[in-house]
Amino acid sequence: MSLREQFSQQIKSEALRLGFSFCGISKAEYLEEEAPRLEKWLNQNMHGKMQYMENHFDKRLDPTKLVEGSKSVISLMYNYFPQKEQRYDSFKISKYAYGQDYHQIIKKKLKEFALFIHENIGEVNAEIFVDSAPVLDRAWAKKSGLGWIGKNSMLINPKNGSFFFLAEIILDLELNYDNEIKDYCGSCTTCVEACPTNAILPNNVVDGSKCISYFTIELKDEIIPNEVKGQFNDWMFGCDICQDVCPWNRFSKPHNEPLFNPNEKLLKYSKNEWKEITEEIYQEIFKKSPVKRTKFKGVKRNIGFLSKD
């Protein structure tokens, strides 16, 4: 067995030990296929008011500009599919935000992972990333053979669907690289037809400026535009419609991460209880939660918008 093969096997074993569901490895190189797609997406203003998407264009496409001398990208998937979901007649929160903020939980695991690499493989330059740097997570996961990018732009794994957080370790070590897998969406257009705001366009493109998640999380304006009134299907933070209807998510299995388990009130609250939520209760339900991104004011804005439908 070559050293490259040995190191690759050690890395994949450690990924599973740390609780990641899948691990794939790809060569750190310029993402030629993604460059024109990203440029066109930005030029058509599909990022809406997410100005940060315009920053670091070169770094998004070239990992060697993020980590000097990088040779490999380790892509990782961490399951967040919940054991229990909210009551059906409530204002809804995206499943990824049920529990504590994934950034901190996964970052802690990645730090442990990087330490393992240093202790078992040697002094390599390894940087960790979890949705907080200009890294095209889905492109790297696809390149690493972890799945394909569906029509809803989500990374879909053939064994367990798409309810996963993605993370990377970019390092200056040559490893054994995995091959991409086939796109199994075929002629299915279930997610395209289910999207109430028509955000899912042909050719696996999502117009971010039309997405319910954009309006309820990213948009910081005091008022949500009137033209989307009545189209949110009761989603008050994020949206899972395109994932919920995806046939591949019949293979989703509940996660084993206690920190992703929600406050019971989140599961049980009715629409009326959400309408009457105080800042004190908000802080209790969403302690350390990604929902903190919108702040109490944002959640109240979203509930108010839904209440007038």
Distance CA 169, CA 87 (A): 37
Element (H, E) at 8: helix 3-17
Residue located via tokens 């949500």: 224
Give the tokens for residue 156: 């879909």
| Active site annotation includes 207 | no
CA atoms within 13 A on the CB side of 100: 9
Angle (CA) 16-142-68 rounded to 5° is 80
Residue located via tokens 């059906």: 88
Contact predicate 307/275, CB 8 Å: yes
Contact predicate 216/235, CB 8 Å: yes
Of 62, 89, 101, 131, the catalytic one is 131
Distance CA 28, CA 144 (A): 10
Burial of 179 (0-12, 13-18, 19+ CB in 10 A): exposed
Distance CA 116, CA 113 (A): 5
Beta-ladder partners of 27: 72
Give the catalytic positions in this structure. 131
